[in-house]
């Protein structure tokens, strides 16, 4: 038989455990939704930098404090159920064109050591609207990106975060920026 003070003590201990679990779950959700996320790459649009089924960590807080930079690999919200992973090539006010497998930003050729070395189509010059970004996949022939009306220019609020680290496969663990 349990005496009154012992029963209260057991209830108090159970309540503390429940509170601790609830707080831990809230912290975990807060980290996932506001600071960092884990994303599985689906598809080959970022090959060779990222491959199908790679798992990456996305920094979500960085873009709350600053803006995306040229070369950043970002996660984009396309709609409620679709996200894209692409590389920032142009910002608002930049002109972008592609000629003979070379991307030109503001008339200057980009040195892109990270792309898949296949020929890809030319693209007539466009000007990126203010508050928007021009993004490309590293595997240009197999990427739905800003060259196509289906994605087009990406508004700032559609960028969820910056890919910062590959965690799977373990043999490729580390930074995605070389």
Tens digit of pLDDT for each residue in 11-37?
777 778 887 777 777 766 666 666 667
Distance (Å, whole) CA 28 – CA 14: 21
Residues 171, 115, 126, 65, CA torsion sign: positive
Indicate the pLDDT class of residue 60, thresholds 50, 70 and 90. confident
11, 12, 32, 45: which is the annotated catalytic residue?
Answer: 45
Q: Is residue 52 part of a domain?
A: yes
Domain range enclosing 64: 37-172
- Establish if 78 belongs to a structural domain: yes
Question: Is position 106 within any domain?
Answer: yes
- Residue 123 sits in a domain whose CATH number is 2.10.109.10
Backbone angles phi, psi at 138, to 5 degrees: -75, -20
- H or E element at residue 23: helix 4-30
- With a pLDDT cut of 90, the percent of the chain lying above it is 56
Mean pLDDT of the chain: 87
Say if 116 falls within a structural domain.
yes
Residue 65 Rama label (left phi>0; alpha psi -120 to 50; beta): alpha
The reported pLDDT for the residue numbered 126 is: 97
The string of DSSP codes covering 44-107 is STTTTTS-TT-EEEEESSHHHHS---TT-EEEEEEETTEEEEEEEEEETT-EEEEETTEEEETT
- Of the residues 60, 86, 91, 162, only one is catalytic, namely 86
Q: How many residues does the chain have?
A: 178
Determine the 3-state secondary structure of 113 from DSSP: coil
Report yes or no on 4 lying in a domain.
Answer: no
Going from the C-alpha of 76 to that of each of 60, 130, 160, the distances in angstroms are: 11, 18, 6
Which residue, 55, 115, 61, 54, is CA-closest to 89?
115
- Residue 61 confidence (pLDDT) above 90: no
pLDDT of residue 31: 61
pLDDT score recorded for residue 152: 93
18 within domain boundaries: no
Does the annotation count 45 as an active-site position?
Answer: yes
The domain total for the chain is 1
User: Each residue of 115-151: pLDDT tens digit?
Assistant: 988 899 999 999 999 999 999 999 999 999 999 998 9
Determine, yes or no, domain membership for 64. Answer: yes
Query: Annotated catalytic, 146?
Result: no
27 lies in a domain? Answer: no
């Amino acid at each position: 038989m349990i005496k009154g003070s012992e029963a209260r003590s057991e209830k108090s201990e159970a309540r503390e455990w429940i509170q601790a679990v609830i707080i831990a779950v809230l912290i975990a959700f807060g980290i996932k939704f506001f600071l960092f996320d884990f994303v599985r790459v689906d598809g080959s649009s970022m090959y060779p930098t990222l491959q199908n089924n790679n798992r990456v960590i996305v920094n979500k807080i960085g873009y709350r404090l600053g803006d995306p930079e040229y070369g950043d690999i970002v996660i984009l919200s396309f709609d409620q159920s679709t996200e894209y992973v692409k590389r920032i090539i142009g910002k608002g006010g930049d002109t972008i064109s592609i000629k003979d497998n070379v991307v030109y930003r503001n008339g200057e050729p980009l040195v892109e050591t990270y792309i898949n070395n296949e020929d890809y189509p030319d693209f007539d010059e466009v000007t990126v609207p203010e508050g928007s970004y021009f993004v490309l996949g590293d595997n240009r022939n197999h990427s739905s990106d800003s060259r196509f009306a289906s994605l087009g220019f990406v508004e700032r609020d559609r960028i969820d975060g910056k890919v910062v680290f590959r965690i799977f496969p373990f043999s490729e663990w580390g930074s995605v920026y070389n």
